[in-house]
Structures are given as structure tokens and as C-alpha cells.
Structure 1
Amino acid sequence: MNKLLHLHTETTSLVIKADKTLPEMLYWGKRLPEGTDLDTFFAANHHPVPQARIDTDTVVSLCPEHARGLFTAPGLEGCRNGDNWSPEFTLEETVLNGQQVSFLCRDRLAALKLDIHLSLNLKSHVLSTHLELTNEGNSNYQLHKLTNTLLLPTIAREIMYFHGRWTHEFQTERKKLDRSGFILENRRGRTSHEHFPGIMIGQANFSETAGKVYGFHLAWSANHRFHAEAMSDGRRYLQAGELLMPGEVELIPGESYRTPTLYSTYSNKGLNGISQNFHRHVRNEIVRFPEPQKVRPVHLNTWEGIYFNHDPEYIMKMVRSSAEIGVERFIIDDGWFRSRNDDKAALGDWYLDEKKYPNGLQPIINCVKEHGMEFGLWFEPEMISPDSDLYRAHPEWMLHTEGYEQVTIRNQYVLNLQIPEAFDYVLDRLDNMLTGYDIRYIKWDMNRELVQPTNNCRAAFHGHVEAYYRLVDEVRRRHPMVEIETCSGGGGRVDFEILKRTQRFWASDCNDALERQTIQRGASYFFPLEITGAHIGAKLCHTTGRQHNADFRGITALFGHMGVELDPVRACEEEKRGFARYISLYKSLRQLLYTGDFFRYDTAHRESQAWGVVSLDQREAVVMFAQMDMPEYAMSAPLPIPGLNQTKDYKVRVLENSSSNIYMKQCPPWMTEPAIMSAALLEQVGLMMPVMQPESALLIQISQV
């Protein structure tokens, strides 16, 4: 008799066969009917054995094995100096605890123990998986690969993945998954702008609101690899794990390696269902705020306002102007420490520049607090400049490979935090600043990739990220009330694992509202709005050279953790009024934005996009419609709005409009006079949109009558 396990939530079922070999997923999808007989289920779904192949059923297990005749990517690759390269595990113990299950497996000949862990969250419907390999032999085991493997149904025919670059993160692309494999690799030492560790796989042409889809995110802040394949027998699977460099992990006797956690979820309601599950999981299980009941404060970050030109008297003018427009947290960015007058020097010298700040930071902090704000400060703790006192004193602390010249990126090197003395130095400087001043917020940056990193004669990507985690953990332990933002030249290092330690991520160094429309949409597939940093930038964006009015910038920044990144002192009075209006609007909406269900809507025309948030009680919603480029047609189309209570009527009205309406002689009537509409009508027929200028947005309020 085969032992079948059924993990389930209200919406999702996972059936696993756990017999003598490694466990195998038999089903993962919509919740099976109550009372389903698993033995009957197995009989109906038992694999046939085709001709001209292995004479027994070949299993795509949770860690596929070459030894059993499966000619696909094994879940484990490694050896003992060439031996034990093709292990064959036996399942020895299964421990089931509610919706969590652990499988203890061994290959006694290879002297390896493999533990496989799965947990299906009852509230978020997110499946968490990880593997742990232990060397039980008497000699070292060289680990090349250990990865999470999940079987997919045959309907999994299309992949949506993420790509980008600096100032252009979270872009999406689609590919077919049919008689082929798909590999996405990142070797940059951080999650990267180029290859975010997330992927969607579903039935052909899945959309925001329709289709069966599976979403995956690997919680790891460095190198990673995704591999999806449609096998020759029609079966499909996904593998996701850390990408290890040659010789990077060697297990001594008794030592273990644990994979990063793969977070996965299923939706039969399109991509919105995936996002809502991930958002719920991040809110309930991942991010921890020092003060959970505290509202998310509006930021002002000084970077694009003053860059390296730090003058305490002028900064205090910025503080006062910030308070006037409603800012609640004031952050001094790069340029506050010794000899940091441009980006070519001083990283690592984390001492206040007394020439710029002869009276220290305290007068500024006092001014910030007097105006009802919190104070934050920028650091880049993992970096070291060639032109720095620290590098001149300790050039050996640079992360590099002996005998080779390390390249600079953005005029800087990486500090080897795996050297205890280097780790202690950085920790001491952070601790000193956080102890000496009332700093409630750190913007923690990492502005370059790792190139040829070596520690103790081995590749050190894995070791660096573990040292980074230890450093953040210790800073949090010593200063538990300090919030931390993860930034890496924008969105270059963001994932669920670092968000266990931080409370916000900077989505991009680009504050261009048009670019942000796409960037924030891409980020929304995985992350809730309250941790996604979104700022109103200056009218002229320094990364693109484009200009947008305050309304388009303000509407775009509403859908994230709002802030401003400019100099409010130099802004004209009209702009200041615009900033104040959108900050006030944000404050009135943030409870809804940060607790409701997020929806992206399927728009009829490719030059437009729309998203919104519906309160959990379905009493209110706020929707944004954006015209990205020149309208495709002379007339717009209705926007279907799902998620409302189908038995209720709603009042629809315009909150803000950044377009001048020059393309219309007559607007849709609801734009000039609030309209009462049923939820059924809004979902099935939709709300007629106006014809809008390129690079503009409309904000709509929907409230239950």
C-alpha cells in the first residue's frame, strides 16, 4: 500500500506519495473535494510505464535522482573526490504535523542524509520548501548543487519571468514551456537587477484575473538558478536553488548544507491570486516591524535634493520645508562621513565628517524631532573605497582573489565580512553611530556586484551573504527599534529572506513616474505596497531626463511606501502645494492600501495599465488607471473591476486626474458627476475609461453605498 499524504488549505491541496523512495508530488492545485479517497485518487492517477524506457515507473521526486533512471536534472550533484556522485536515497522516516511534513532520507552507501521539509500555510496558501544535506561519512563531500524541485501539471505551458537593469528593474517577459527547458541564472552576488528570483508558470495565456497559475520565489540574497523543463514524457517540473561556484561548499564529516527556502503558491484566479497569497504571507510571516501598530511614515530622502553637498544649516531648512508638506521621517543620504565629497572615496570610514558637521548631527536631529519627524541615515557597510583610510590601513580586508587585480565597480571594492576583524569593525561603527545618535532608520545600500570573491581559497558568494545576514541580525539585536531599508543601487537586493531582517526595500534608483509605473507593477507580483519604497521625485528626472507634472508623480508614488526625493526648499509654491496634497491623500488612504487586497486589472489596450486595492470587507476601493504611451485607438475601453461585493452598489468618483483631457470633447459622465453602479456591473461590463494623454494617470475612489 502506498502512503499518501494530503496537505491542504481552504483553497489548495497537495498530495504526496511517501513510500520507500524519495517522496513524490502527485497533485498540487485546487482543493480536492471533501472526503476524497486517496487510494482511489492514486489508482486513477498512477503513471503508466511506456515501451522502450525504464521497466519501472521513474519518479520525479522532491529531489530527482539519476540513479533511478531519470534522465533530467538531478536535485543533488556532488561527490567525494569523484566517488558517490550518483546517490540513491531511501525514505526512512516521515513526520507529519498538521500542514507540515518532514522526510528523513539516507543513502548509507554514500553516507549522506537528506532531509526534505514542506509547510503549507493555512492563511496564505503558500508552500515553503527546503532541503538539508548532511555528510555522515568519514571524508569531505564536495557539494555542487542541491535544489528544491516541484512537479508541475501538464497545463503548465507558459512562463513569465523577470529581467531588468539598474533603474529599469522588475520587467516581465513570457516564454512557452513546451518540449524544452528554461534556465534563469544569476551570478552577481546579490539578487540582482537583471534576474529577480521569481517566476510564474501556468496555462497558456494566463492573465491578471484568469487562468491556473503557479508562482515561485526563492528567498536568497545572492546567486540563484531556476530551471523549468518539459520532459519528453510530458511531465514538467521546476527547480530553484542557490547557484554554487566550483568548490564553494565542501561538507566536512558531520556538516550540513541547507538550501534557501522556495516559496510557492497556486491560483486558479490568475496572477492576482498569486500576488494576494504572497502579500498575505509577507505580511503575516516574513516582515517584522519594531512597532507593528505604527503607521508607515512618509519619507524625505536627501539624495536627489543635495547629493554630496552637505550644509547643516541648509539641511535644517530642508527639514522645516519637509515638515510643512507633511513629511514624517527625514533621512540624510550619502555624503555625511569623512572625506565623502563624491563617489570616489571614503567608503569604510564611517566617522562623521566634522568639517561638514562641526557641531555634529545633534542639531539636525533636534530640528527633525522638533518638527515631529524621525531621523534616518544612509550606510553602505559592505563596501570599501580604494581611497579611504580603512583601505590604506587594511588592504587585505578587500574581498578578492589573491594574485589577481580586483576590478572596481562604481569606484569601490567589497569588504570581506568573513574576516572576523573586518566584520567587527563595521559592526562597531554602525553600533557607535546608532548608540550615539537617535537614529530610527537605516538606508542600507550595496552598490556593486561581487567579482571573483574568494575567502580561504574558496569562492565566497555564499559566505558573503551569510556574513551579511549575521551583520544585519546583530545590528537588529542591539538596536531592535531601528527600521532598516534594503537598497542595492535600487532593487538589486530584495527577497523574502532579507525581508525577514528589514522593513522596506528601495524598488529603483529611478524616480521617473513613467518608469516607476512598470517597476512597481513588477514588484507588486511578490511584495505588498507598504514595504515597496516609492518616492515623488523632482520634475526633471536625473536618470531619464523626462519631466512629469506633480499629479502623475504623486498618483504613482501613492502605490508604495510613499516618500519624496527632492529639495523642497527650492520647489516653487505650486509644487509644494502639490506635494502636500498627495502626502495628505496618502495619509488618508494608507490604511486601505496596506491592509487590502491588491488587484492588477486586465486592460483592453496595451498602452494602458491599471491596478487597485479593495478593502478586506469590500466596502471601499481605490483604483489607478495609467496611460503609458500614445493611445492605440481614438476611443478608450471599459475597465472591468473585480473584487467587490457582488450584492452591493458602489459610488464611483474621481479623486485625482493628471491628464488635461485634451483628447475628449466629452468625458464619461461618471468623471464629472459621481455615479452609483452595482459591483456586478463594474466587474462584468466595467467602467468606461477616458481617452488620456500619454504619461498620465487617473485615481478613482469606489465606496459602498
Structure 2
Amino acid sequence: MSIQVHDSLFSLCTRDSLYQMKVDQYGVLNHTWYGPDTAMDMSYIEDYPEISFSANLWDTEKSRMYSLNDRLLEYSCGGISDFRNPALLLTVPDGSSSLDLRYFSYEIMPDKYALEGLPASFGDGQTLKITLKDTVYDIYVDLLYGVFEEENVITRSVVIRNLTPFEIKVKKIVSASLDLPTSDYEVIHFHGRHAMERMMEKTPLTHGTFSIGSRRGQSSHQHNPGLVLAKANTTETSGEAYGMLLVYSGSFEAEVEKDQLDQLRATIGLRSENLNWTLKPGERFCAPEAILSFTENGLGTLSGQYHDFIREHLIRSRFVHQKRPILINNWEATYFDFNGEKLLDIAQTARELGIELFVLDDGWFGQRHNDDSSLGDWVVNEQKLQMPLRELVDRVHDKGMQFGLWIEPEMVSENSMLYRAHPDWVLRSPLRDPARSRYQLVLDMANPEVVDYLANTFMALIEENGVDYIKWDMNRSISDFYAPSLAPERQSEMAHRYMLGVYDLADRLTSRFPDVLFEGCAGGGGRFDAGMLYYFPQYWCSDDTDAHNRCLIQHGTSFFYPISSVGSHVSAVPNHQTGRTVSLKTRGIVAMAGTFGYELDLSALSDEEKEEVKAQVETYKAMQPLVFDGDYYRLSDPNANNVCAWSFVSKDKKTALVQAVVFEHKPNAKKPHVKLQGLDPMAFYRRKEDGMVFSGKALMKAGIFLPDTLGSNVGHQVELEQID
């Protein structure tokens, strides 16, 4: 059984890990272990000396050997005697922030829990619910644990229930809190900026608190809502590592604290400064889900566990394992300057090269001739297209291609019919002018009337025009945290209510149109997170399409997110973001490590380049099942090496694809070299390009050389097939 209960001991068992909690003599729920399966009660390793200036529970009477401030706790509260970062802070009826939670009950449920209004994992998994209760008030805290035994994953969420006759305030609530007895770990996190997201960074822990997060109303380009705790000697193939990933797309915070006893507490959840939630009598508040995983076998294994779990148990789209169309997006070919015939010419050329999906990006609606007007006016500009949208769609369909459309539901331009009709639908303080960003204001997604309007508008647009694909964009952060639809005393709830509105709209659209392929975008990868992947099976990885930079961006993205979710395209050179020129071959290899497509003017290509595109398209069609469903391995660290290399290995280990980019040719040096991973060590593999045969053990222990090619950012691809 994946959930075992013996007296006061709770054990959550996966294939390779054990997560353990125990209720002590005072009814406090202690965290005793998360790590390798030890097949025993791990509370024997607890050692808590008397620590001066550590407050003691009243129950302990004159004993000074028991303090919450020193113990490993499962879910800590502020206001009593634990001075570390709390998991939960409430304002209770007496006005204080004191909360003393003790064990109340437990329940084992045969199915995985669901979260009302929030994305959450699903599938075959048991649920353990442990209920804690305050010693004074009828305030109940349900700790939810989803146990996925074969996947080595434990999910967590928390529900607060107010059964008092009074209002209480939720000031801070984290989705997962993890106390570990030692702190000899590094924090691996993923920072960045627009067009340079998810840069991996390792930070040694020092005493105090390490913190990342977002105040932007979205998970953000600047910090991704996940972190890894890894021993200093952990590599891709060996060493202990813990992962914590938040299934949420709004403002968040993650903290790692090293305390006075060199213990560690890691928490992840909603951003507390954006939360002061009123909970009336009888109401409940549900925290977003967090996904936890552990391994002793290195960062590659940890990533693989997340990849498989997100594919199988989080992305609910039917497209998750289906072959997806190779697309051409018109944006970098035309920007706002197009008409219907020009778009059809692009589609015709694309079809001749084997491309399967034409996507019309920004500029098809209202009076949208640049980026300072018409957001919110989702009415087709037939004068600009010189034809109805349905005619354009039908003519693309007649070419044997699918048709896609760009939308930006959450935004509005001041110069728009929608804003003039509904200025009260915009996030803005009543006495202040709102901050502009990209000439855009943000719609009040906390307002059900706004969500209803958007749902009805886009449902009609998709249905009436036979659209096959939607790209949902969001091109600014939230700066004015004031929703006109909410009462003044509820404004502190706005950030979370906004995200609930976004999830409601995404749920309505994707449920209504299960056969439409949705791709998320937020100025590129500004909201690339597990919350959005619940609704959208793929996400535009970054607005930076430069192949060199994409190696770094996609490397960081791969630590949590499956490659099948990574939107990656071949774009023009010189690159529009960096001015760098990289060969079409390299651009293709990098973009194939994702959901492949093109974003350039195909008519500007030479006949030779068009033939190369045609070959790339055929190659990707053949390899997409391996890229989507195989095991992904990072073979080098592009932040520290001259090579960015990665591979895909089929689940049965019979085929492998190695892809690499050598950043710079170094004269009078050995050829670039990589060691492979994930192969069958006892099998033999033939290299497709020259027929040379290698043992799996040799490929993993000694590796292979890449060709020594002159130039910079040179891409290479090696195909291997197991032989008898």
C-alpha cells in the first residue's frame, strides 16, 4: 500500500522513496523523514537538545526540552513558539495571529483529490487527508497528500475550514512545507527576464532565508515557481535531490531557511503580501497544489520523474500524446502588415514544404495596425483581410492545412470599443491613473461578468470560423492590484481571484473545444508553469528564438517541464532579438527539441534552403514520437561548457537521438565529446550516419566525439538504433 498508518505514524511510500510523519505526545504532527525507503519508523533520528531562548509549549509544563522552534514540523504556524518561517498565518477572532494546530483525524481516500477552481494532478493515486485543529477555535486545516507510487511523486495541498461563528483572515498559506534535518544542500532555481527565461542558477545555503518569487500577478519571466534542493556533489547521474514545483500561474513565493541547528525548511505557495483573504463562517480556502519528488540518482532522474508525471497526470489535453502539427506563424514574416492574399501565399509556400498548420498572429481584429489599439475588440477586420475570416480559414483548409489564431484575452487597449464601453472592467485604483505597459491595461478577471463576456466571445469566434489552434498570449505583468468588482475590504484577495478567473476561462474554452490545440504564451515564457500546462499541452518557451540563447533557455526549462510542452520555432536570421546569424541546420536541431514550427518569411528563402526546410519537416515528423514520449537527458551544462548536448531515448531503449550545439570552434583542441545516458548497457547500437556499432556501456562510459566543424553555434544530430 502506498499509504500506511500505524498508531501515530503515517508513511507515504513510492517506488523509491519514503515520506513519513508522526504525531507526538502533545498532538503535534512532526515531519520525521523524506528520502530513500528505509522500511522503518525514522523518528529515532530525532535529536533536540535544550536550546536557550526557544519558547516551550504550555503543555510541557516545566520541561524545557521541547520547543516547536527546534523540531521538524509537518506544517508550522506563526504566533506561538516556532520562530522560523511559518507555513500558515491567520488572524483569528481575538485579533491575534496565534494558531496552535494539533492532530485531529485522518482519512485515506482511494482516489486522488481534486481542487475546486484550481488545476491539479489526476489519475491513479491515493489520497491521505490529515486534519489538524486549533486548540481554541473551530479552525480546521486539512493537509492533503496525493501519492503516486510508481511515479515517485507526492503532491500536496492545504484546505482551511472556518467553522467558528466569526470571520478570520488568511494572511499566509503555503502549499507545501518541508523540514529536513540537515542543510548541506544547494538551491537550484530558475531566474531570468523577458526573452531569457529559466536560467539555471545554483546557490549554496547560508544561515537565514533564501527567497524567490513574483509580485507580478503571473509566475513571471523573472522566477519560475519551482526549486530543487541538491547535495553539493549531485550530478545529472548521481546524488540526492528534492524537487518542489507549484501548480500555479500567479504571484508566488518560495523560501528555504537554514536555522540555528543547521536544519532546513523549504516552503512554496501563494505570495503572502498579495493575500489577506477573508474567510467567513462556514467558508473554506484551498491552496494550490505542489508537486514533490525525490531521488538518490541525480538531477536527470529527478527531471525524468517530473516529465513523466506532468505528461501523464497533469496535462489533461487529449493532445498530450498525439502527433502535433508543424506550424508556420506569420508574425516575424509580416508583423501587422498583411492581408488575406498575403497570408494565403505564406500558407501555400508552407504547405509545399510539408508544414501542416498556419497560424495568424496579432493584427486580425478591430483597428489593430500596431500595438497601441483594439485589444478587447475581438471582431474580425474584414477590410484589412479583404475577406471574411471564415473564407480565409476555409481556403487554408482547402490546402490541406489546419488554421490557428492568436488571441490575448486578459488585456484591453485604451483605444478600443471595449474600454470605452466598460472602463470599470479594468484593474485600476479608483483615485489613481493605472500604469501602462505595452499600451495595454489589464481586464478585471476577478469579475465574473468579464469572464463570461470573454468566454462567449471566443467560443463564438472559434465555433463560427472552424479554428483548429489557439495561441493565448499575455503581454504584460499586473501592476495595479485593484479590482473594481471587489469591495474595498476584499482588494487584498484580488491577485488570487484574478488567477481563479483566468483558470475559469481556460477551463471553459478547453472543455468546450477538446479538439482545438491550445498553446499558452505570456510575452514568451512569462507564465510557463505547471498551472497553465494543466489546460494547455504546450507553451511558447520564449520570445527569444535565437538558437544559441534557446539552448540555455530550453536547458533550464527541461529541469521540470516535458519537452512535449516546449514551443520552439525556427526563425529568421539575422535573429530579430539578438542579430545573431546561425545556420538553418542548427536552428532546426534546436527547435526540434520541442513542438516544432517556423516563424519567418518562407518566400525569402533560397531554393536550397527550402529543400532543407522540407527535409527538416520530414525528419521531425519521424522523430516527434521519440521527442514527445521518450526519456530526455541533459548531456552537458551549456552554462559551463562549450557544448549544449541532450538526447532522447525510447522507453524500450531501442532508439536514441543525440542533438548538440557546439558554441565555438577551438583551434588545436580535441573534438567536442559527450557521454550518453539511458541506454541499455548490455545492448549494441548502430550509428545511422556511418553504420559504426557501439556497446551501450561504451556510449555511456566513454561517450562519442562530435565532428570538429569550423564556425560557431554548429548543430549536430546523431541517430542510434539498437541491433541484435
How high is the TM-score relative to the length of structure 2?
0.91
Contact 2:326/2:617 (<8 A) preserved: yes
Which of the numbers 97, 105, 123 marks the counterpart of 2:132? 105
Secondary structure, counterpart of 2:708 in structure 1: coil
Which of the numbers 61, 77, 82 marks the counterpart of 1:70? 82
Secondary structure, counterpart of 2:384 in structure 1: coil
Secondary structure, counterpart of 2:132 in structure 1: strand
For residues 585-664 of structure 1, the aligned pairs below 5 Å read 585-602=619-636, 606-629=641-664, 631=666, 634-636=669-671, 638-654=673-689
1:56 aligns with 2:66: yes
Contact 1:157/1:178 (<8 A) preserved: no
Post-superposition Cα deviations, 1:667-703, rounded to whole Å, max 9, x if no partner, equal xxxxxx4321111111112213343432112111111
> What CA distance in whole angstroms lies between the structure 2 residues aligned with 1:31 and 1:469?
37
Which amino acid in 2 is paired with 1:522? G
* Equivalent residue number for residue 409 of structure 1: 437
Cα displacement (A) at 1:591: 1.1
Cα displacement (A) at 1:435: 1.7
* Equivalent residue number for residue 238 of structure 1: 266
1:546 aligns with 2:575: no
> What CA distance in whole angstroms lies between the structure 1 residues aligned with 2:222 and 2:668?
33
Contact 2:142/2:159 (<8 A) preserved: yes
* Equivalent residue number for residue 449 of structure 2: 421
For residues 457-476 of structure 1, the aligned pairs below 5 Å read 457=488, 458-459=491-492, 460-476=494-510
For residues 523-542 of structure 1, the aligned pairs below 5 Å read 523-542=557-576
Cα displacement (A) at 1:415: 0.9
Larger CA deviation: 174-183 vs 581-590: 174-183
Cα displacement (A) at 1:246: 5.7
Cα displacement (A) at 1:498: 1.7
* Equivalent residue number for residue 487 of structure 1: 521
Which amino acid in 2 is paired with 1:648? A
Post-superposition Cα deviations, 1:202-223, rounded to whole Å, max 9, x if no partner, equal 1003222222111111111110
Q: 1:86 to 1:293 in 2, by over 3 A?
A: closer
Percent identity over the alignment is: 28
* Equivalent residue number for residue 702 of structure 1: 720
Contact 2:327/2:596 (<8 A) preserved: yes
Post-superposition Cα deviations, 1:132-162, rounded to whole Å, max 9, x if no partner, equal 1122222221211011201235264211111
Cα displacement (A) at 1:67: 5.3
> What CA distance in whole angstroms lies between the structure 2 residues aligned with 1:585 and 1:478?
34
Secondary structure, counterpart of 1:454 in structure 2: coil
Contact 2:90/2:99 (<8 A) preserved: no
Larger CA deviation: 558-567 vs 687-696: 687-696
Cα displacement (A) at 1:21: 3.1
> What CA distance in whole angstroms lies between the structure 2 residues aligned with 1:2 and 1:67?
29
Which of the numbers 676, 697, 705 marks the counterpart of 1:680? 697
> What CA distance in whole angstroms lies between the structure 1 residues aligned with 2:670 and 2:50?
56
Cα displacement (A) at 1:397: 1.1
Post-superposition Cα deviations, 1:547-602, rounded to whole Å, max 9, x if no partner, equal 11100100101100101111212322122112111111111111111111110014
* Equivalent residue number for residue 149 of structure 2: 122
> What CA distance in whole angstroms lies between the structure 2 residues aligned with 1:704 and 1:37?
42
> What CA distance in whole angstroms lies between the structure 1 residues aligned with 2:509 and 2:352?
33
Contact 1:158/1:205 (<8 A) preserved: no
Contact 1:158/1:174 (<8 A) preserved: yes
> What CA distance in whole angstroms lies between the structure 2 residues aligned with 1:419 and 1:232?
46
Q: Size of the alignment, in residue pairs?
A: 681
Larger CA deviation: 363-372 vs 577-586: 363-372
Post-superposition Cα deviations, 1:308-365, rounded to whole Å, max 9, x if no partner, equal 1121111111111111111111110000001000001000000000211342012321
Secondary structure, counterpart of 2:530 in structure 1: coil
Larger CA deviation: 9-18 vs 259-268: 9-18
Contact 1:631/1:694 (<8 A) preserved: no
Larger CA deviation: 471-480 vs 595-604: 595-604
* Equivalent residue number for residue 670 of structure 1: none
Post-superposition Cα deviations, 1:460-490, rounded to whole Å, max 9, x if no partner, equal 2111111111111112232232221110000
> What CA distance in whole angstroms lies between the structure 1 residues aligned with 2:390 and 2:51?
79
Cα displacement (A) at 1:256: 1.4
* Equivalent residue number for residue 257 of structure 1: 285
Contact 1:197/1:495 (<8 A) preserved: yes
For residues 276-425 of structure 1, the aligned pairs below 5 Å read 276-290=304-318, 294-425=322-453
1:584 aligns with 2:645: no
> What CA distance in whole angstroms lies between the structure 2 residues aligned with 1:337 and 1:370?
23
> What CA distance in whole angstroms lies between the structure 2 residues aligned with 1:182 and 1:21?
30
Which amino acid in 1 is paired with 2:13? H
> What CA distance in whole angstroms lies between the structure 2 residues aligned with 1:292 and 1:206?
31
Contact 2:78/2:97 (<8 A) preserved: no
Q: 1:615 to 1:136 in 2, by over 3 A?
A: same
Contact 1:380/1:444 (<8 A) preserved: yes
Root-mean-square deviation (CA), in Å? 2.0
* Equivalent residue number for residue 9 of structure 2: 4
Q: 1:315 to 1:247 in 2, by over 3 A?
A: closer
Q: 1:237 to 1:361 in 2, by over 3 A?
A: same
> What CA distance in whole angstroms lies between the structure 2 residues aligned with 1:676 and 1:246?
59
Which of the numbers 181, 185, 188 marks the counterpart of 1:157? 185
Which amino acid in 2 is paired with 1:587? K
> What CA distance in whole angstroms lies between the structure 2 residues aligned with 1:514 and 1:637?
17
Larger CA deviation: 160-169 vs 147-156: 147-156
Q: 1:157 to 1:37 in 2, by over 3 A?
A: closer
For residues 166-245 of structure 1, the aligned pairs below 5 Å read 166-245=194-273
Q: 1:411 to 1:680 in 2, by over 3 A?
A: same
> What CA distance in whole angstroms lies between the structure 2 residues aligned with 1:631 and 1:67?
60
* Equivalent residue number for residue 660 of structure 1: none
Cα displacement (A) at 1:66: 4.0
Secondary structure, counterpart of 2:697 in structure 1: helix
> What CA distance in whole angstroms lies between the structure 2 residues aligned with 1:124 and 1:629?
39
Q: Structure 2: 5+ residue runs without aligned partners?
A: 1-5, 55-63, 111-125
Q: 1:171 to 1:391 in 2, by over 3 A?
A: same
Contact 2:183/2:264 (<8 A) preserved: no
Q: Structure 1: 5+ residue runs without aligned partners?
A: 655-672
Post-superposition Cα deviations, 1:427-466, rounded to whole Å, max 9, x if no partner, equal 2211121121111111000000111221222132111111
> What CA distance in whole angstroms lies between the structure 2 residues aligned with 1:21 and 1:534?
52
Q: 1:242 to 1:419 in 2, by over 3 A?
A: same
Which amino acid in 2 is paired with 1:62? E
* Equivalent residue number for residue 117 of structure 2: none
Contact 2:183/2:262 (<8 A) preserved: no
Q: 1:312 to 1:14 in 2, by over 3 A?
A: same
* Equivalent residue number for residue 119 of structure 2: none
Contact 1:207/1:602 (<8 A) preserved: no
Larger CA deviation: 505-514 vs 114-123: 114-123
Q: 1:26 to 1:247 in 2, by over 3 A?
A: closer
Which of the numbers 23, 27, 30 marks the counterpart of 2:29? 23
* Equivalent residue number for residue 573 of structure 1: 607
Which amino acid in 1 is paired with 2:438? R
* Equivalent residue number for residue 664 of structure 1: none
> What CA distance in whole angstroms lies between the structure 2 residues aligned with 1:282 and 1:315?
36
> What CA distance in whole angstroms lies between the structure 2 residues aligned with 1:689 and 1:587?
24
Contact 1:102/1:117 (<8 A) preserved: yes
Q: 1:436 to 1:81 in 2, by over 3 A?
A: same
* Equivalent residue number for residue 46 of structure 1: 46
Secondary structure, counterpart of 1:628 in structure 2: strand
Cα displacement (A) at 1:608: 1.5
Which amino acid in 2 is paired with 1:130? S
